[in-house]
Amino acid sequence: MVSSSELFQLIKSLSKAEKRYFSLNSQLQDGEKSYLVLYQAIDNMDAYDEAVLKENLINQGFKVKYLAVAKIQLGNLIMKSLRSFHESNNPEQGVLSLVASAEILKKKGLYQQALKHLARAKKISRKFEMHYYIFEILNRQASMYLNLVERGGEEVLTSVFEEIELLRQKVQRETELRVLAHRMLLIIQTKPLKHPSTIELLNEIAEYDILKNFSEGDSFFAKLYYFFSHALLKHSQGEFQIANPYYLKILELWERYQHLKEVHRRLFKAHISNYLNSCHTLGNYEPFEHWLDKYKEIPDTNYDEEMGSFRDLSQTSLLYLLNTGQLAKAYSLANDIEQGLIKYSSKISKARVAALRFNVFITFFINEKYSEALDWLGTLALDDKIEGRADARSLARIMRVIVHYELGHTRIIDSLRTSVYRKLKKDEQLHEFERTILEHIRKLEAFISKKEQKVLWQDLYQRLNGLGEKYGWNKIAGLEEIATWAESKVLNRPYVKLMEERKQR
């Protein structure tokens, strides 16, 4: 039985094609169709309200005393329509339908016809590597052969049992690799990767025999999780250069199995995102256009896919545009992201949302849209994790001081700078970079001439460049952005132009 709110959610989740199919099927049905009145009334609602629904139904002559029964009927008919709709383009639904038909034929004693349906189901299952369905199909075949095979015809059953054993071996390896890959993913998401116990665990996993033996005879998913396990292992160990080719091998594998790519669109797109994130870590943006186009070629057909694409592409595309100097495009994309966050943020992890919000803030800051930048910065809860990193939270606090300075909020600058200084010191995040910025802002607070200001900006720019040469530009979060900000003050040139030039060098 479906509840009222669940029925509302079900109807609202239907695509245009699914709704059209349901309507066409309903027209073919005989008898009273009061459920269609209920369907239309619910579909027209923006939010579910039982009282409003009943009032609308009464106005259309619907007998609300039968409403509970009509809801059950409508829910069942929608699910029946969905199963039928997806049967033709969903291999799993097709297999389940064939197996169900075989069971009906078996009960009627029509074993040969039932076996034909199972043979078709097994062919589809093999093509799409649905191994667990093959187990079920083989067991059903064996059961029927027992009713057909005469004395001396045991070879038929023997061949089925041999097939089951070979399949068991294949599935066992695939399952072990799948479990290992997900275990690695859990380690990355939950454990401190530099902790001795984690390092010891990763070194232990690296010695697993299953990771030392790759076979072309493996199933598609065994190969996929073999590569994925290696990619995650090397990534978690900080060996990003070695991890990156494994992420690429996964995409090359998908390209060889086009029929599986079409069925598992969401998984394929997720692996594109993994590869592009790996490339971003290495600062390699050459493959981005090709794989972003591949990603966008695959249409989203439901809410879950739309949400996944937003989660994957918004951050990846924004970072790509920012790091290749396409800052005008980044600015346009940032405005689109705002609408996506309103629609999907509740379905995305807080850490990812925070990271995305911070990168949108950076986009507005680079484009010198300081009021908008401050608004985005205000959406961050700085006691929560931003990409799980303390340095990112520290940078957000530093950037808040800088933005208030740019907006000329002189009355709060001193107290804000002081509170940030104390907070960073307490958190043991007051390093040379942070001290340099806060000291510079303190000096600018004094009443000094334009000439003295320029000297201060030149000094800040030189000191930040020195930090970049000493520690590496990629080792200090925000160093490049703030150094370019200082350079724009020294040269009296638009910040966004200087950043574009820097990124395109």
Residues 16 and 75 reside in one and the same domain = yes
Is residue 384 assigned to a domain?
no
- Determine the length of the chain: 505
Query: 481 to each of 35, 94, 463, how far by Cα in Å?
Result: 60, 54, 14
Residue 387's pLDDT band, with cuts at 50, 70 and 90, is very low
- The DSSP 8-state label assigned to residue 1 in this structure reads -
For the ranges 88-92, 142-146, 232-236, which has the lowest average pLDDT?
Answer: 88-92
For the segment 222-237, the average pLDDT, to the nearest whole number, is 94
pLDDT (average), residues 212-233: 93
Q: Is residue 385 pLDDT above 60, yes or no? A: no
pLDDT, position 54: 85
Number of domains observed in the structure of the chain: 2
Q: Do 14 and 22 form a contact (C-beta atoms < 8 A)?
A: yes
The stretch 477-497 carries a mean pLDDT of 92
Residue 1 has pLDDT above 60, yes or no: no
Sign of CA dihedral 337, 399, 423, 418: negative
pLDDT, position 225:
96
CB 374 within 8 A of CB 407: yes
Contact 198, 191 (CB under 8 A): yes
Examine the domain organization and report whether 80 and 130 are in the same domain: no
Asked whether residue 53 falls in the same domain as residue 120, the answer is: no
Same domain, 79 and 117: no
Q: Does 388 score more than 70 pLDDT?
A: no
Q: Would you say residue 62 lies in a domain?
A: yes
Average pLDDT over residues 194-216: 90
pLDDT at 227: 97
pLDDT digits (tens, 9 = 90+) for 248-303: 999 999 999 999 988 898 899 999 999 999 999 898 999 999 999 999 888 887 77
Please tell me whether residues 30 and 75 are part of one structural domain.
yes
304 contacts: CB under 8 Å, gap ≥ 6: 266
Q: What is the pLDDT of residue 486?
A: 93
Domain co-membership, 19 together with 57: yes
User: Same domain for 59 and 110?
Assistant: no
Residue 15 lies in a domain: yes
Q: Has residue 10 been placed in a domain?
A: yes
Domain boundary (51, 69, 87) is at 87
Q: In this structure, are 68 and 14 located in the same domain?
A: yes
pLDDT of residue 434: 93
Q: Which pLDDT belongs to residue 450?
A: 84
Mean pLDDT for the chain overall: 87
SS3 of residue 390 by DSSP: helix
* Residue 14 sits in the same domain as residue 82: yes
Query: Would residue 185 count as lying in a domain?
Result: no
* Residue 98 clears pLDDT 60, i.e. is over it: yes
pLDDT at 45 over 80: yes
Residues 505, 498: Cα–Cα separation, whole Å: 11
Q: What is the pLDDT of residues 154-189, one digit of tens each?
A: 778 888 889 999 999 999 999 999 999 999 988 888
pTM, two decimals, is 0.75
Query: Is 339 a domain residue?
Result: no
**Lowest-confidence range among 175-184, 211-220, 244-253, 377-386?**
377-386
pLDDT of residue 128: 92
CA separation for the pair 434, 394 (Å, rounded): 8
Residue 133 lies in a domain: yes
Q: What percent of the chain has pLDDT over 70?
A: 95
Task: Render pLDDT for 52-86 as a digit per residue (tens, 0 to 9).
Answer: 888 888 888 888 788 888 888 888 888 888 877 77
Q: Is residue 139 pLDDT above 60, yes or no?
A: yes
Give the range of the structural domain holding residue 76, as residue numbers without chain letter.
4-87
For 151-163, write each residue's pLDDT tens digit. Answer: 555 778 888 889 9
Residue 121 confidence (pLDDT) above 50: yes
65 with 28, same domain: the answer is yes
- For the stretch 6-41, pLDDT in tens is 888 888 888 888 888 888 878 766 666 778 888 888
How far is CA 137 from each of CA 114, 127, 169, 260, 388, rounded to the nearest angstrom? 11, 14, 17, 20, 46
Domain boundary among 121, 148, 175: 148
In this structure, of 203-207, 235-239, 386-390, the range with the lowest mean pLDDT score is 386-390
